[in-house]
């Protein structure tokens, strides 16, 4: 009995593959499987910003782009550009209009990048009043 358990364990260990052993096609397939259109991106981002921002109230000039596939890391991901003017910490006016990059994987928010850089330079923005109405 003990011998058969050991053999079964060794057989199962031999079946597993590490990421390094996967073919390039398998890696690309795995990467593209994460490229699901983020259907609920506006509501998910609104909920995220409510908890992420120190003071989510009083946001001005909020705008958002539609999700678009762009190169991120080793492949493409759906990204959204969001622009808004938040209050400064400590209540000293407004911080100024800034672009932010939101990266989605599997249709869900994966990363929020405060500095969008070149990724949002050609973004077509539309009004995003949902975050202008945020409360604490």
19-58 pLDDT tens trace = 455 566 665 555 566 789 999 999 999 999 999 998 899 9
Instruction: Assign 15 a pLDDT band (cuts: 50, 70, 90).
Output: low
Please classify residue 78 by burial: count the beta carbons closer than 10 Å to its beta carbon, then call 0-12 exposed, 13-18 middle and 19+ buried. Answer: buried
Q: What is the pTM of this model?
A: 0.74
What ranges make up the beta strands (E) of the chain?
60-65, 68-72, 75-85, 98-105, 108-113, 125-127
Whole-angstrom distance, CA of residue 38 vs CA of residue 113: 17
**CB neighbours of 45 closer than 8 A, spacing ≥ 6?**
64, 80, 82, 102, 109, 131
More confident call, 62 vs 91 = 62
Q: What is the pLDDT of residue 21?
A: 58
Q: What is the pLDDT of residue 32?
A: 60
Backbone angles phi, psi at 110, to 5 degrees: -110, -45
In terms of Cα–Cα distance, which of 32, 120, 47, 45 is closest to 77?
32
**Whether the predicted pLDDT of 91 surpasses 80:** no
Torsion sign, CA atoms 106, 109, 111, 114:
positive
More confident call, 135 vs 10 = 135
77-86 pLDDT per residue, tens? 999 999 999 9
């Amino acid at each position: 009995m003990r011998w058969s358990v050991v053999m079964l364990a060794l057989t199962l260990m031999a079946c597993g593959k590490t990421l390094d052993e996967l073919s390039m096609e398998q890696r690309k397939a795995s990467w593209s499987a994460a490229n699901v259109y983020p259907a609920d991106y506006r509501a998910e981002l609104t909920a995220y910003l409510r908890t992420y921002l120190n003071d989510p109230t009083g946001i001005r000039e909020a705008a958002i782009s539609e999700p678009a596939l762009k190169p991120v890391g080793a492949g493409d991901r759906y990204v959204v550009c969001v622009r808004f003017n938040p209050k400064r910490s400590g209540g000293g006016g407004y911080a100024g209009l800034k672009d932010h990059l939101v990266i989605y994987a599997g249709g869900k928010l994966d990363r929020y990048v405060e500095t969008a850089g070149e990724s949002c330079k050609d973004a077509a923005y539309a009004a995003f009043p949902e975050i202008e109405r945020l409360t604490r």
